Amino acid sequence: MIKKFLKYGVPPIFCDYDTGLPFTKCRLCENELTPASKYLVEKVFKQNKKLNISEIVYEYAVCWECASDLGADISKDSREAISAVFLEYQDPMRLRLEHLHNSELYMIDSWTERCTFTGKETRMCDEYAVSGIIEAGALVYEHSPVVVSDDFMLLVQRVLSKETKETFDGLRDKILDGSPSVEDLIFTPTPGIV
């Protein structure tokens, strides 16, 4: 059984890159995120193979209300197809989470060094996404933090309907304000799925 553990404080990986502090505003509704708020943070990284480091491509935070609404526009067919992909990787994910909880490995690196679903090391990914839930000023260790490798995201992308992809493209554009820095992404993480 997966348990919930709150580790006080927001690790730097889930803070605003520019300020180094916790996010203060929901990217969608623009409501304030306070120390008492519950919200989701997602960051996408790309490997710089020349320097052998991960570089941030983009990041955002959304309040829990907006995060809960993100899946509402997914078509029924896409929702079923996504569920099938996640079901296929359910056992490895569950075993990994149980190991992390049973070992009480509540250090962020233990949770972010590999894809939550495939086990692929992030250093081997061309790109990967990391998401976490912040609640009352603490990082929630439960089913998150979640790491999605480029391989797993491609599996999910393949099963999405055209209309769902268009919906997520519109959502991505709203979240990123049309930032040209993400034009060259190999894959586009789907907000709300991770």
Q: Which domain holds residue 151?
A: 5-182
Identify whether 9 is part of a domain. Answer: yes
- pLDDT of 86 over the 50 cut: yes
Per-residue model confidence (pLDDT) at position 178: 53
In a domain, 192, yes or no: no
The pLDDT assigned to 184 comes to: 38
Count the Cβ atoms, other than its own, within 10 Å of residue 96: 16
Q: Does the pTM exceed 0.95? A: no
Check residue 13 and give its pLDDT: 94
Asked if residue 53 belongs to a domain, the reply is: yes
Residue 99 included in any domain: yes
With a cut of 50, say whether residue 190 has pLDDT above it: no
Which has the closest alpha carbon to 93: 2, 31, 188, 25?
Answer: 2
User: Which pLDDT tens digit goes with each residue over 141-188?
Assistant: 998 899 999 999 999 888 887 887 777 777 777 777 655 443 333 344
Please give the Cα distance from 115 to 104 (Å, whole number): 19
pLDDT confidence bin for 27, thresholds 50/70/90: very high
Res 106 pLDDT > 90: no
pLDDT of 92-104, one tens digit each?
888 888 888 888 8
Residue 75: inside a domain, yes or no? yes
Q: Give the count of domains, the chain.
A: 1
Is there a domain that residue 188 lies in? no
Residues 6 or more apart whose Cβ sits within 8 Å of residue 182: 57, 58, 172, 176
pLDDT at site 147: 94
In a domain, residue 189? The reply is: no
In a domain, 12, yes or no: yes
If one compares 117 and 74, the residue with the highest pLDDT of the two is 117
pLDDT band at 193 (very low <50, low <70, confident <90, very high): very low
Tell me the sheet residues that pair with 32.
25
Contact 146, 116 (CB under 8 A): yes
CB-neighbour burial class of residue 39 (10 A; exposed 0-12, middle 13-18, buried 19+): buried
Q: Does an H or E element contain 109, and which?
A: helix 108-112
C-alpha pair distances (Å), 42 with each of 1, 20, 50, 56: 25, 15, 25, 11
